[in-house]
């Protein structure tokens, strides 16, 4: 088979491309093609960007759980207002000029969903009031330093849920990326072997053209010697023209398949390529029971459905919290000082503790919350049913892939025998044709039969390769190398 591959490649290089381009082309193996696709494929790039988005969103949320520092500056503020004093029934004027700044350190508390803040407000103010009885003016510095705690009560922890949702989103993106790689591997393999088969078909067409040319020369010699009727030469010319047409059609098909492969793996369409593959088949021992076990234990789609169920359960928490009894507690303790002189600002400080407690008590919502809960329960059950159906689909697909592989082994043996028989039949009838015992039309049929059997044998070998890859994708286990292919970090998360 290796000699056949070398012959096909030689014919391809010498028969399709001009000699000046022979050294400019790139010969691709399946592994090299896969490597290019994993770097340049638009689908892989898109999946990587989605993975990066999920990772950065999780990083941002984790960063938000750390202490946040902020500084709010108000360099200058001025106001002049004319107001009415209801108690004295008099008008007065107030003028204020000031500058202030607020420094805040805020720390979210993951375990309680609360927020602890240390705040320092510093400012200077000049205030002047013109009243009906006298004028007053004040110039002073002030500083308010306090520690506050804001804590929701009797409700779910939104911080934990948000963090877990982003972690699940990242895991789902990782699963999508791994699945996309498998999908690209499958598509690249198919496109690669399409090019390989196109090369094989072209090589067979060129061989058929050579054989048809030989039969045409034989017929021409016979006609010139008066040993055959002239219509035999006409038929031989027609056969030769058809053979040349098949070669040209094969070249067009090959170039089209190359363009499709280059487009999918992200190569420049002007790149000159050819493919070289070893399609020798070594039967792989496959245990159907183990294949099913591997698939159910490793298939990433099952974990994705598990993520959907978890996400739906988180949504249920939000639904239940939409109209529930809950409370909010705020605590604050600190000191405030003011003085005309900055260094004496805390000569006479004032403590300013504060406590606030509030509750939201739902009374009657006309069944809104109850209906939303039932709707979300239906969503969860639907995801659970989808998970169950997916398990069945996985088992069915693995069983079908296994049967297909076993069938392809039988088809390979049959195709190999048919090719051998067709070759022997053609050689016998070519000799008969040379002896004048067979017409060119009959010889054409035997030539066509030989070409078809060669194509059938090559296709059977490729079908086995593709079916074996399909089983690897279905089970996430490489039976050729006897090892799992699922990423270890994803496998650990799936088992949790």
**Which pLDDT tens digit goes with each residue over 355-407?**
999 888 888 878 888 898 899 899 999 999 999 999 999 999 999 999 999 99
Q: Give the integer Cα–Cα distance in Å for 476 and 467.
A: 14
**β-strand 350-351 against 273-275: which pairing, if any?**
unpaired
Per-residue model confidence (pLDDT) at position 487: 60
Question: Which residues in the chain show pLDDT less than 70?
Answer: 1-24, 132-133, 487-496
In degrees rounded to 5, what are phi and psi of residue 137? -140, 145
Distances in Å between the Cα of 162 and the Cα atoms of 62, 107, 150, 171, 496 are: 10, 17, 18, 14, 19
Residue 18 DSSP SS3: coil
Tokens standing for 71? 């500084």
d(CA 174, CA 187): 20
DSSP state for residue 344 in the 8-state scheme: G
pTM of the model: 0.73
190 forms beta bridges with none
Q: For residue 169, what are its two tokens? A: 């989103």
Calpha distance 447→423 (Å, rounded) = 9
Say what the pLDDT of residue 229 is: 76
CA 291 to chain centroid, in Å, comes to 25
Assess contact for 452 and 389: CB atoms under 8 A: no
Residue 258 confidence (pLDDT):
94
**CA 481/CA 486 separation, integer angstroms:** 14
What domains are there in the chain, each with its CATH number? 2-56+162-310+381-495 (1.20.1600.10), 68-109+112-154+327-361 (no CATH)
The widest CA-to-CA distance across the chain, in whole angstroms, is 143
Q: At which residue do the structure tokens 């009031």 appear? A: 129
Which of left, alpha, beta for 387 (phi over 0: left; psi -120 to 50: alpha)? alpha
Q: Around Cβ 39, how many Cβ atoms within 10 Å?
A: 11
User: Using an 8 Å Cβ cutoff, are 297 and 476 in contact?
Assistant: no
Q: Which long-range contacts (CB under 8 A, 24 or more apart) does 431-440 make?
A: 433/215, 433/218, 434/218, 436/222, 436/227, 436/228, 439/232, 439/235, 440/215, 440/216, 440/219, 440/232, 440/235, 440/236, 440/239
Sign of CA dihedral 429, 434, 435, 438: positive
Q: What is the DSSP letter of 342?
A: G
Burial of 270 (0-12, 13-18, 19+ CB in 10 A): exposed
Six-digit token pair at 283?
A: 């039967």
DSSP state string for 179-230? HHHHHHHHHHHHHHHHHHHHHHHHHHHHHHHHHHHHHHHHHHHHHHTTSS-H
């Amino acid at each position: 088979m290796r000699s056949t591959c070398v012959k096909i490649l030689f014919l391809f290089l010498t028969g399709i491309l001009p000699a000046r381009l022979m050294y400019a082309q790139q010969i691709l193996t399946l592994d090299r093609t896969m490597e290019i696709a994993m770097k340049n494929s638009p689908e892989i790039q898109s999946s990587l960007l989605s993975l990066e988005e999920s990772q950065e969103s999780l990083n941002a949320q984790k960063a938000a759980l750390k202490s946040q520092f902020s500084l709010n500056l108000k360099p200058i503020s001025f106001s002049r207002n004319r107001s009415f004093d209801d108690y004295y029934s008099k008008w007065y004027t107030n003028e204020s000029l000031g500058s202030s700044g607020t420094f805040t350190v805020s720390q979210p508390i993951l375990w309680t969903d609360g927020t602890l803040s240390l705040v320092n407000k510093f400012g200077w103010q000049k205030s002047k009031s013109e009243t009906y009885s006298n004028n007053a003016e004040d110039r002073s510095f002030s500083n308010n330093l306090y520690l506050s705690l804001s804590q929701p009560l009797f409700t779910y922890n939104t911080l934990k849920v948000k963090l877990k949702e982003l972690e699940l989103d990242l895991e789902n993106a990782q699963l999508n990326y791994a699945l996309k790689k498998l999908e690209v591997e499958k598509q690249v393999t198919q496109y690669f072997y399409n090019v390989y088969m196109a090369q094989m078909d072209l090589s067979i067409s060129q061989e058929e053209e050579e054989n048809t040319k030989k039969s045409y020369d034989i017929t021409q010699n016979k006609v010139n010697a008066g040993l055959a009727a002239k219509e035999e030469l006409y038929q031989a010319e027609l056969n030769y023209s058809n053979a040349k047409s098949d070669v040209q059609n094969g070249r067009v098909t090959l170039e089209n398949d190359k363009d499709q492969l280059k487009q999918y793996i992200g190569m420049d369409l002007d790149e000159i390529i050819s493919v070289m593959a070893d399609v020798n088949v070594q039967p792989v021992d496959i245990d159907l029971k183990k294949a099913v076990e591997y698939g159910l234990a490793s298939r990433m789609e099952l974990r994705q459905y598990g993520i959907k169920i978890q996400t739906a359960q988180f949504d249920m928490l939000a639904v239940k919290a939409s109209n529930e009894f809950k409370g909010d507690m705020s605590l604050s303790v600190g000191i405030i000082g003011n003085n005309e002189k900055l260094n004496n600002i805390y000569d006479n400080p004032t403590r300013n503790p504060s406590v606030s407690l509030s509750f939201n008590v739902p009374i009657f919502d006309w069944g809104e919350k109850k209906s939303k809960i039932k709707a979300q329960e239906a969503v969860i059950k639907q995801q659970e049913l989808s998970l169950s159906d997916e398990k069945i689909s996985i088992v069915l697909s693995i069983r079908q892939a296994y049967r297909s592989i076993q069938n392809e082994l039988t088809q390979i043996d049959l195709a190999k025998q048919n090719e051998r028989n067709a070759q022997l039949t053609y050689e016998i009838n070519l000799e008969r044709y040379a002896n004048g015992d067979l017409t060119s039309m009959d010889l054409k049929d035997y030539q066509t039969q030989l070409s078809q059997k060669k194509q059938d044998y090559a296709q059977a070998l490729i079908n086995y390769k593709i079916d074996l890859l399909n089983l690897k994708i279905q089970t996430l286990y490489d039976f050729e190398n006897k090892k799992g292919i699922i990423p270890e970090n994803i496998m650990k998360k799936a088992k949790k």
